[in-house]
Amino acid sequence: MQREKSWMFFDLLLPLLPIAAYVFVYRAMRAPEEYVGFVVFGGAMTAFWLNVLWAMSSQLYWEKEQGNLALYIMSPASMMAILFGMAMGGLFATSLRAFIILIVGSFLFSVQYAVVSFPQLLLVFLLAMTALYGMGMMLASLFLLLSREAWHLSNLAQEPIYLLSGFYFPIKSLNFWVAAFSSLIPLTLGLDAMRQLAFPSGAKLGFLSVEIEIAVLIALSVIFLAAARVLLAYMEKLAIREGRLTESRR
C-alpha cells in the first residue's frame, strides 16, 4: 500500500459506488432504513471475499507463475504455514480497508447501529474469517492443480458469491434451500449473524438464530481447515514425486 498509492483510491473509494447505488435503490423503494445498514455492512465485507478469492485462492498459482512455488515446496515450512502467514498479512490490510469503508459509508448514509452483544459480534467475525480463510487455503491447492483455469474460476466466482451470500440484502429473501446451500460459504452466515447483532430489526430478517449460525461457522472452520491440510499435503507430495506443479512435462 505504501508502494502503490493508487491502490488506496481503488480499494477505498470505488467500493463505495455500488454501496451508494444499492442505498439509493432501497430509499427509492422506501425499504426499511435497516436495509441501508445491511448494504454498508455487506459492502465492507466484500473486501474479505475479494482478498480470499484473489490473494488466497489464487496465491499459489501466481507464485508458480513468478517462479517462487518451487522454493516454497522445498522449504522446511509446511504449505499451510506459508499460506497462514499470507492470510494474516492479507487479513490485516483488508481489515483496514473494510473498517474505513464501514466508517465512511455509515457517516455518508447516516446508518444507525444497535449492537446487542459485542462479544458475540466479535466471535462471529473471528469464526467467519477463520472459516473463510480456511476455504481460501483449500481452494489454493485446487486452483493450482487447475493451472490457467484458476484465473477464469476466480472471475466466475466473484459476482455469483455477491448474490448467494446476500452482500446487499438479507439472505432470508432467497428460497430456504438456496439460502441453506449458500450457507456453505462462511460469509453468508457470518454476515447474517452480524446483521442480527448490529441492527434493531436484524433478528426479524435473520435466516437462522445467531446461536445456530455460530455452531455452523465452527463446523465450517473445522471442515475447511482440515480439507485444506489434506489437499495441500497431497499437492506438496505430488509436486515432490512428479514435479509437474513446478515445471512443464510436455
pLDDT confidence tier of residue 3, bands split at 50, 70 and 90: low
CB of 47 within 8 A of CB of 15?
A: yes
Does residue 6 register a pLDDT over 90? no
Would you list the domain boundaries of the chain?
A: 6-242
pLDDT, residue 163, reads 85
Does residue 123 register a pLDDT over 60? yes
Distance between CA atoms of 186 and 216, rounded to whole angstroms? 9
Tell me, what amino acid is at 21? Answer: A
Q: In sequence order, what DSSP letters do the residues of 183-227 get, joined into one string?
A: TTSHHHHHHHHHHHHHSTTTTTT-SS-HHHHHHHHHHHHHHHHHH
pLDDT, residue 34, reads 85
CB of 135 within 8 A of CB of 52?
A: yes
Which range is least confidently modeled, 8-22, 48-62, 169-183, 186-200? 48-62
Tell me, what amino acid is at 28? Answer: A
pLDDT confidence tier of residue 221, bands split at 50, 70 and 90: very high
As a whole number, mean pLDDT of residues 30-36 equals 86
CB of 61 within 8 A of CB of 144?
A: yes
As a whole number, mean pLDDT of residues 103-123 equals 88
Most confident of 49-53, 120-124, 154-158: 120-124
Q: In whole numbers, what is the pLDDT of the chain averaged over residues?
A: 82
Does residue 246 register a pLDDT over 60? no
As a whole number, mean pLDDT of residues 195-216 equals 87
CB of 213 within 8 A of CB of 189?
A: yes
As a whole number, mean pLDDT of residues 55-77 equals 76
Burial of 64 (0-12, 13-18, 19+ CB in 10 A): buried
- Per-residue b/e over 39-57, b at no fewer than 16 CB within 10 Å? bbbbbbbbbbbbbbbbbbb
DSSP state of 5: T
Question: 236: how many CB neighbours lie within 10 A of its CB?
Answer: 17
Does residue 141 register a pLDDT over 80? no
Q: pLDDT tens digits for 226-239?
A: 988 888 888 777 76
pLDDT, residue 250, reads 43
pLDDT, residue 31, reads 85
pLDDT, residue 249, reads 46
Distance between CA atoms of 103 and 40, rounded to whole angstroms? 9
Burial of 185 (0-12, 13-18, 19+ CB in 10 A): buried
Share of the chain above pLDDT 90, in %: 14
- Residue in 146, 136, 138 with CA at minimum distance from that of residue 245: 146
